[in-house]
Amino acid sequence: MLWLALGPFRAMESQVLVIRIKIPNSGAVDWTVHSGPQLLFRDVLDVIGQVLPEATTTAFEYEDEDGDRITVRSDEEMKAMLSYYYSTVMEQQVNGQLIEPLQIFPRACKPPGERNIHGLKVNTRTGPSQHTSPSVSDTLPSNSLKKSSAELKKILANGQMNEQDIRYRDTLGHGNGGTVYKAYHVPSGKILAVKVILLDITLELQKQIMSELEILYKCDSSYIIGFYGAFFVENRISICTEFMDGGSLDVYRKIPEHVLGRIAVAVVKGLTYLWSLKILHRDVKPSNMLVNTRGQVKLCDFGVSTQLVNSIAKTYVGTNAYMAVSKLMQK
């Protein structure tokens, strides 16, 4: 079994590798590599950076035998791509076919000014990992909405977080299918809150996770929890957000009236911002309001929020204790 895995590499060590970098709406650029098996993920990104100098690329894709796009974000996934390509080349040689270049498709991020990373400086260098991140299409359930899958792919493509740079510290809480940790981000020296969710959960919870990711990705407000990125590892997704050292409002008892006034203003401003994006929170309660020692109040937990498109919300969700009486009467 070990020889089968390494065989394609050994057979191709002396051959030149041609990588065809596909440029959206602009054709392609061929890159000749004389040491293909030793090629690193970072080497490919450096060349893509020369081909697309105005874009920031943190990953690229290739097509498998079924025409499906497979994302490469690390040296481990790079090795898998080369192994697949070399086995294809050997098959083409046996059949007397013309050898095709290895085609890759860069995944360019938004320009830095448009990213919602709240000033977090992240080193995007990804070293070898013992884990292999599956593609989104492999992880999402087959009956998930295509729109949500496409949106999630875009979010992950723009993210700059990976598990190798995260050091988990304390457990902050559990709920909604996952666990929230206080974590340290090594390259930036920042403290984060990381929600880790296993994907062997119900379809409804998976939809809530996708909804929360989409909303966090869209928002850029001082009254909404900051979003730094997300990544897949094996069968779980990790969502990295701003850490609020004061916790949620539900842990506090009696709050002075003048403080409540400031909290109310912050919450209303957060809800107003969401409404400007046609987003309805639908679960406003103390446990979904986070505070920090700087006196900031921010909304979080958008799992049951809805994005309105020329319609109104017709379903009743949320927490009964904080729901309007009129809504409870209609349930």
Contact in structure between 196 and 181 (CB atoms under 8 Å):
yes
Question: All domains of the chain, ordered by start, with CATH?
Answer: 2-108 (3.10.20.90), 136-330 (1.10.510.10)
Q: What is the pTM of this model?
A: 0.50
Report whether 254 belongs to an annotated binding site: no
Query: For 48-52, what is the mean pLDDT?
Result: 87
pLDDT at 292: 92
- Residues 85-127: tens digit of each pLDDT: 888 888 777 777 888 899 999 986 544 344 434 444 333 333 3
Among 14-23, 110-119, 213-222, name the one with the lowest average pLDDT: 110-119
Most confident option among 83-92, 136-145, 309-318: 83-92
pLDDT confidence band for 167 (50 / 70 / 90)? very high
pLDDT confidence band for 222 (50 / 70 / 90)? very high
Query: For 74-86, what is the mean pLDDT?
Result: 87
Residue 108 CB neighbours (<10 A): 19
Contact in structure between 211 and 305 (CB atoms under 8 Å):
yes
Query: For 53-80, what is the mean pLDDT?
Result: 86
- pLDDT surpassing 60 at residue 213: yes
Question: Which is higher by pLDDT, 3 or 170?
Answer: 170
Structure tokens at 35: 């040491």
Most confident option among 54-58, 87-91, 161-165, 222-226: 222-226
What residues contact residue 224 under an 8 Å CB cut-off, 6+ apart? 216, 270, 273, 274, 298, 299, 300
pLDDT at 181: 92
Structure tokens at 258: 């003048």
pLDDT at 53: 82
Among 103, 135, 132, smallest CA distance to 20 is for 103
pLDDT at 19: 92
Report the half-sphere exposure of 138 (CA within 13 A, side-chain side). Answer: 14
Contact in structure between 184 and 246 (CB atoms under 8 Å):
no
pLDDT at 62: 92
Placement of tokens 């309001």 in the chain: 289
- Cα distance between residue 285 and residue 163, in whole Å: 31
- pLDDT surpassing 50 at residue 130: no
- pLDDT surpassing 60 at residue 325: no
Catalytically active residues, by annotation = 283
Question: Which is higher by pLDDT, 273 or 329?
Answer: 273
C-alpha angle 279/203/131, rounded to 5°? 100
- pLDDT surpassing 80 at residue 176: no
pLDDT confidence band for 290 (50 / 70 / 90)? very high
Please, what is the average pLDDT of the chain? Answer: 74
- Cα distance between residue 240 and residue 252, in whole Å: 25
- pLDDT surpassing 90 at residue 133: no
pLDDT at 132: 38
pLDDT at 151: 60
- pLDDT surpassing 50 at residue 146: no
